[in-house]
Amino acid sequence: MDQKKHFTGLTDTQVIKSREIHGANILTPPQKVSMWKLFLEKFKDPIIRILLIAALLSLGISIIHNEYAETIGIFCAIFLATGVAFWFEMDANKKFDILNQVNDDVMVTVVRNGVVTEIPKKDVVVGDIVMIGTGEEIPADGELLEAISLQIDESCLTGELMIDKTTNPAEFDKEATYPSNYVLRGTKVLDGHGIMEVKEVGDQTQYGKVAEKSTEINEEETPLNIQLNGLAKFISVIGFSLAILTFLTLFIKDILFTDYLYFKSHLGQFYLLGSAIAGTAVALSKVWVPIFYDALSLLKIHRDIPRRVEKGGWMQWLLWGVLTFVVLCIPAYFAGINPIEASSWVNIDIAMKVLKYFMVAVTLIVVAVPEGLPMSVTLSLALSMRRMLKTNNLVRKMHACETMGAATVICTDKTGTLTQNQMQVHKTNFYSLPADNQIPGSNETGNLIKEGISVNSTAFLNHSEEQVKSLGNPTEAALLLWLFRNGIPYDPLRNNAQILEQLTFTTERKYMATLVQSPLLHKKVLYVKGAPEIVLSKCKTIRMADGELPVSEYKAAIEKQLFDYQNMAMRTLGFAYKFVDDNETGKIQELVESGLTFLGITAISDPVREDVPEAVAECLNAGIQVKIVTGDTPGTAREIGRQIGIWNVSDTDENIITGVEFEALSDNVALERVRKLKIMCRARPTDKQRLVQLLQQTGEIVAVTGDGTNDAPALNHAHIGLSMGSGTSVAKEASDITLLDDSFKSIATAVMWGRSLYKNIQRFLLFQLTINVAALLIVFIGSIIGTELPLTVTQMLWVNLIMDTFAAAALASLPPNKDVMKEKPRKNSDFIITPVMRNNILFVGISFVLILIGYMIYSTWYDADKIFSPYELTCFFTIFVMLQVWNLFNAKAFGSGKSAFNDLNHDGAFLLVALLIIIGQILIVTFGGEVFRTVPLDIKTWAIIIGSTSMVLWIGELIRLFKRK
């Protein structure tokens, strides 16, 4: 091309220098999280952390007593929960094609050293002169030096399928997301050709910046973690408060009062004992100080934990504890008490009592912590991950299952998510055909329409795959698809017609013309299509059903149709033709200007997916806002909003904004504006990310959907990112869930699953905390009144670990309930234990304690020694377990307003787990022997225990029946 010879390009020396200054044209691959780091992240769970503290305290007691069963059980619970979470996330990651494999070796045509040559894309540098043509991918960001009929597919960055590019300032689109004379890496040339000067390469390109944003670490905590953190605070405060209260009560009751005379005559010894207790308290500051501040926060008194406690190491505080003890011992030394001498300390009996009380206090902490909770949450999330896959939700990050249920706002892109990402003919108006039957037949009119569409086009259809795909100009391909769907193949028409001359579409002409020797019409025909107003201006007549009539009579009606279609955000094309005599001469441009006959117009759009309006309505009814974020024009965005049901006639300019206008707003103004926004158009990747972050600042739980590279930063920074299965690898890498069917309806399904999952977690908490309250009160009351706990460590291990794990599986296996979509989203600040749950836990837990104490009194009523026999201890253990079994059914029905027997035929897994618990209890009682301190029970005893404890279920059923009425 002669006009390009004046471009000399860079010299070899300039290339080297440019690469040194601006870098290579390679994207930095995302850094992968190591397996160890991924595993250690599971220990950030607040309940796991408090469980670790309990495990360490339990280990200390185990060493003293040489009994490790409870400690082993707690550590098993920790590693099972963290291990299962780690395994399922690793398994999900394998299902993702998360690597953004960019082919850096694709050859690119450039001008260097004054000659045209080809180089690999990775060798392109800033300043290179690059030639681009139809079908090629832009290798870097750059400014156009020349553009001939250039159309770019920017959908991967802006969501727009077809953008006209030009170097003529008079034709610049002022509303365009990116300048009309600028092209971007990763976009594709749909039509035409051009020359660009590279301005940015590699990570500095818009594509590279978006990819980098998609891999930023998002520190936003998930709603479930926030609520579990609140629960962990509550449990730790209650457990430690009760432990301290018990320790002080026992210390005062059994030492200060009982050993009053010894205390009075050995004040020095008690001073040293107090000093030792004070030193121990200081050494354990990293345990109790954060809990003290947690207690303040629960009372709405917010104070920061002292930096020295928060950042200081355990060894540092151990040394502070020793120093405290030494400092307190100094006055004693000067008072004649030598801390080094054994006689200066209290006798061994009192020391053992203090140690015993300390161990009782630690036992209360261990009992208070719900060991099964992490396993319950993990099992619930893991099962949901697998089941959601069947509903086309491929979950990559486990927390995403539940977080989706807490979503209050969904920010969705348009192209490929709400729409089908394929241009289609919405309506045809060929005026010579009946309005109710626009399918072209085999008469002259039909032949003009179908041959004109087939030959006057540069697009193709790909039939090699199950779904027909379009290649080339999207609007031209939409016309070919329209023919195909009406049973008219375009390729025989194109192949049989002899093309004599063709004038391709340019942004300057705004039309395309093809002169053919038609085998259908047996004459030369000039076909023209393009912008309707341009094509119409070149026509003298219009082809109607009853012949050719003057175009002037119908011009106003046609313009009204075009106006209506444009208000519906549709692209329009006009069609015309001219029969050319064999003796007629002149260039094709002259033939076009010599008077055409208008055939009609078509309206083309990227249609909304059929299931989207219903899915959007379901989300709106569930109290979830839906906001559109798109690179399209305001008119197109408004029309899509109207079609899916979020834009109403009452909406104003406050509800819509462009990316440029949004960027100009200050954070304070934007923070208020985002609450009202329904649509953001002409949006760039950074605009969508800012919108997400501002919404999060307002307290919203934000879900983002998208399929393009432009969506990746927002997908990454949102609470929950949902990519499309057909989307780019960068988008999938940044997301938490991939919708395999590209359906917005799957989002509504994910919300239903998430909300149901949260309900199941609440049901498990109700169940397990009832057990913990009962066990806690039994230990507390037993220690105060001086009786030993009638449950062994091994028995408690069965109740607290095995049974809770089974219960977690039972409640986690409950199917999702569609009724949850009738509720409004929960608030992020809500405590996971609702007032109704709290009352139920306390009432049922205390009732169980009274039943068990009643059995203890009844069993020892006629026994002067008040000693439990092995048989009575076994009955006590079995009653305790069976009370929980029946309460499991109450937990299943909690919050549903339905009977526990409702849908039991669909809850096979739940029934199986309940049956396994009962069978397990029978086996343990029958064959447990000395290990579980049990003796076999006869059938009559089993019948009495099962029958009497079942009252828990029947009373629950009566209460639920009364509430339904």
Cα distance between residue 449 and residue 463, in whole Å: 23
Cα distance between residue 952 and residue 886, in whole Å: 6
Q: What is the DSSP secondary-structure string of 553-599?
A: GTHHHHHHHHHHHHHTT-EEEEEEEEEE-TT--S-HHHHHTT-EEEE
Taking the CA atoms of 403, 407, 412 and 417 in sequence, report the sign of the dihedral they define. Answer: positive
Cα distance between residue 661 and residue 674, in whole Å: 12
Cα distance between residue 876 and residue 297, in whole Å: 39
Q: At what angle do helices 745-785 and 372-390 cross, to 10 degrees?
A: 160
Of the candidates 631, 194, 183, the one whose C-alpha atom is nearest the C-alpha of residue 415 is: 631
Which residue among 123, 128, 294, 413 is the active-site one?
413
Cα distance between residue 200 and residue 126, in whole Å: 6
Q: Which pair of tokens denotes residue 494? A: 């194109």
Q: Which pair of tokens denotes residue 319? A: 């040394």
**Coil, helix or strand at residue 629:** strand
Give counts: helices (H), strands (E), the chain. Answer: 36, 25
Q: What is the DSSP secondary-structure string of 781-848?
A: HHHHHTPPPSS-HHHHHIIIIIIHHHHHHHHHTSPP-GGGGGSPPPPTT--SS-HHHHHHHHHHHHHH
Would you call 294 a catalytic residue per the annotation?
A: no
Q: Is 592 exposed, middle or buried (0-12, 13-18, 19+ CB in 10 A)?
A: buried
- The C-alpha angle with vertex 630 and arms to 703 and 192, in degrees rounded to 5, equals 140
Of the candidates 679, 684, 602, the one whose C-alpha atom is nearest the C-alpha of residue 646 is: 679
Of the candidates 782, 956, 953, the one whose C-alpha atom is nearest the C-alpha of residue 883 is: 953
CB atoms under 10 Å from CB of 335, counted, come to 10
Name the β-bridge partners of 578: 526
Query: Which CA distances in Å does 883 have to 790, 847, 852, 960?
Result: 16, 10, 10, 18
Contacts 24+ apart (CB under 8 A), 82-85: 82/39, 82/42, 82/43, 82/45, 82/48, 82/374, 84/375, 84/378, 84/379, 84/382, 85/42, 85/378, 85/381, 85/382, 85/398
Element (H, E) at 525: strand 523-530
Q: Are strands 737-739 and 720-724 parallel, antiparallel or unpaired?
A: parallel
Q: What is the DSSP secondary-structure string of 373-426?
A: HHHHHHHHHHHHHHHHHHTTEEESSTTHHHHGGG--EEEE-STTTTB-SS-EEE
Residue whose pair of structure tokens reads 């009929």 in the numeric block = 149
Dihedral angle computed from the Cα positions of residues 457, 463, 468 and 474, in that order, rounded to the nearest 10 degrees: -20
Q: What is the DSSP secondary-structure string of 107-150?
A: EEEEEETTEEEEEEGGG--TT-EEEEETTPBP-SEEEEEEEEEE
Of the candidates 331, 367, 361, 334, the one whose C-alpha atom is nearest the C-alpha of residue 51 is: 367
Q: Left, alpha or beta for 23 (phi > 0: left; psi -120 to 50: alpha)?
A: left
Cα distance between residue 179 and residue 159, in whole Å: 15
Give catalytic residue positions. 413
